Structure 1
Amino acid sequence: MIDIIALRRDLHTHPELGFTEFRTATKVVQMLSEMGYQVIYGRDAIDDDSRRGLPKLEVLEDAYQRALREGADPDIVQQMRGGFTAVVAELQGDEDGPTTAFRFDMDALPIRESELDRHLPQKGQFRSAHEGIMHACAHDGHTSIGLALAERLSDRKFAGKLRLLFQPAEEGVRGAYAMVKKGMLEGVDRLFCMHLGTDVPSGHIKGSSAGFLATTKLEARFTGVSSHAGASPEEGRNALLGASTALLNIHALPRFSSADTRVNVGILEGGTGANIIAEQARMVIETRSTSEETNLELERRVRQIIEHSAAMHELSASVETIGGAIPIRCDLELAELAVREAKGIPGFTHAETVANGSALGSEDASYMIRRVQEQGGKATYMIVGSDLPASHHHPEFDIDEAVLSPAVSLLERLARTL
Structure 2
Amino acid sequence: MLDLVTLRRDFHMHPEVGFTEFRTATKVVEILTSLGFEVIYGQDAMDGDSRRGLPSEAVLEKAYERALRDGANPAIVEKMRGGYTAVIGVKKGKSAGPTVAFRFDMDALPVLESKDGDHFPQANGFRSHYEGNMHACAHDGHTTIGLGLAEKLADGDFSGTIKLIFQPAEEGVRGAYSIVQKGIVDDVDYIFCHHLGVGVPLGEIHGGSHGFLATTKMLAHFHGVSSHAGASPEQGKNALLGAATALLNIHAIPRFSTGSTRINVGVLEGGTAANIIPAYAKMVVETRSVSEEVNAELEQRVRNIIAHSAAMHELEHEIEVVGGAIPINYDVDMAELALEEAKQVEGFHSFVNGAYNAMGSEDASFLIKRVQDRGGKGTYMSIGTDIPAPHHHQKFDIQEEILPRSVELLNRIARRLLT
Question: Scaled by the length of structure 1, what TM-score is found?
Answer: 0.99
Give structure 1 stretches of 5+ with no counterpart.
none
Contact 2:198 2:359 in 1 (8 A): no
In structure 1, what is the equivalent of residue 369 of structure 2? 370
Contact 2:91 2:162 in 1 (8 A): yes
Contact 2:18 2:171 in 1 (8 A): yes
In structure 2, what is the equivalent of residue 361 of structure 1? 360
Separation of aligned partners in 2, 1:215 and 1:138: 22
Q: Percent identity over the alignment? A: 64
Separation of aligned partners in 2, 1:168 and 1:254: 35
1:283-302 map, 5 Å: 283-302=283-302
Contact 2:205 2:384 in 1 (8 A): yes
Contact 2:204 2:348 in 1 (8 A): yes
Q: Which amino acid aligns with 1:401?
A: E
Higher alpha-carbon deviation: 225-234 or 76-85: 225-234
Alignment of 1:254 onto 2:246: no
**What's the secondary structure of 1:354's corresponding residue?**
strand
Separation of aligned partners in 1, 2:54 and 2:184: 20
1:182-197 map, 5 Å: 182-197=182-197
Q: Which amino acid aligns with 1:13?
A: M
**What's the secondary structure of 1:319's corresponding residue?**
strand
RMSD of aligned C-alpha atoms? 0.6
Higher alpha-carbon deviation: 343-352 or 327-336: 343-352
1:17-416 map, 5 Å: 17-357=17-357, 359=358, 361-416=360-415
**What's the secondary structure of 2:80's corresponding residue?**
coil
Separation of aligned partners in 2, 1:13 and 1:150: 22
Superposition misfits of 4+ residues, deviation over 2 angstroms: none
Q: CA deviation at 1:99?
A: 0.3
Separation of aligned partners in 1, 2:336 and 2:40: 31
Q: CA deviation at 1:108?
A: 0.4
Q: CA deviation at 1:317?
A: 0.8
Q: Which amino acid aligns with 1:154?
A: A
Separation of aligned partners in 1, 2:237 and 2:372: 50
Separation of aligned partners in 1, 2:383 and 2:291: 26
Q: Which amino acid aligns with 2:375?
A: G
Separation of aligned partners in 2, 1:55 and 1:183: 23
Separation of aligned partners in 2, 1:361 and 1:70: 34
**What's the secondary structure of 1:49's corresponding residue?**
helix
Separation of aligned partners in 2, 1:185 and 1:92: 15
**What's the secondary structure of 1:247's corresponding residue?**
helix
Q: Which amino acid aligns with 2:262?
A: R
**What's the secondary structure of 1:208's corresponding residue?**
strand
Q: Which amino acid aligns with 1:115?
A: K
Separation of aligned partners in 1, 2:356 and 2:169: 25
Question: Which string of whole-angstrom CA distances, capped at 9 and with x for unpartnered residues, describes residues 155-181 of structure 1?
Answer: 112221000000000000000000000
Separation of aligned partners in 2, 1:121 and 1:349: 27
Question: Scaled by the length of structure 2, what TM-score is found?
Answer: 0.99
Q: CA deviation at 1:95?
A: 3.0
Q: CA deviation at 1:230?
A: 1.1
Q: CA deviation at 1:67?
A: 0.2
Q: CA deviation at 1:360?
A: 5.2
Q: Which amino acid aligns with 1:266?
A: G
**What's the secondary structure of 1:361's corresponding residue?**
coil
Separation of aligned partners in 2, 1:269 and 1:139: 30
Contact 2:212 2:360 in 1 (8 A): yes
**What's the secondary structure of 1:392's corresponding residue?**
coil
Separation of aligned partners in 1, 2:101 and 2:163: 4
Contact 2:28 2:87 in 1 (8 A): yes
